[in-house]
Amino acid sequence: MADVIPTGPVGICKEALKQLVAESKTFQDAIGAKGTGPEKIALAKLRIHKTEYVAAAEEEEKMLRPFALILSTENNSDSAEAVSGSGVRDFLKGGDIELRLEKEIPEDYRATGQEANAETDFENFYENVLADIKALAGQPGYLIINSISIIEGPAKYDPQGSEKDVYAVRLLISWGMK
């Protein structure tokens, strides 16, 4: 079956953010992507979910991390502005979407009790993913990002039914022509 292509502004925006994360060299390296540039992007996209994904308890252990989750927020419906140009009325959309990043604590940090290093390792991961995204954002063909704010985290948690601790961060991505 062919992929369903988003047609609305929020769906298109989520797909554009997925592309930015997939092109992040940091994200690609973290998942161990190998091959050509397009092959690495394709592998990265397998770890980027759009809409909420909640694993059942029996699936939690199999969930591959790191991964990214892109969610809609309530801030997208009323942010269109009418602008005129060359006799055509365009509507420029803007809004927010949420980006969640998760990464397992590496085994060597858990085994040696070096939690501070695990925390710094995760901060390096998500901050470098954001740096990669910011380097591309706004260039022709890429999503325009106005700001990135932390909603929650970074924080460590123990996923239900899993023996592996995880670090996660929730980010608010403000996008569009504002």
pTM, rounded to two decimals: 0.84
Where is pLDDT greater, at 19 or 62?
A: 19
pLDDT of 23 > 70? The answer is yes
Where is pLDDT greater, at 80 or 158?
A: 158
Q: Averaged over 60-88, what is the pLDDT?
A: 64
Q: How far apart are CA 166 and CA 86, in angstroms?
A: 52
Residue 108's pLDDT band, with cuts at 50, 70 and 90, is: confident
Q: Averaged over 119-144, what is the pLDDT?
A: 95
Q: Is 52 left (phi over 0), alpha (psi -120 to 50) or beta?
A: beta
- Let me know how long the chain is: 178
- Greatest mean pLDDT among 18-32, 58-72, 103-117: 18-32
pLDDT of 139 > 70? The answer is yes
Pick from 98-112, 119-133, 157-171: least confident: 157-171
Q: How far apart are CA 41 and CA 39, in angstroms?
A: 5
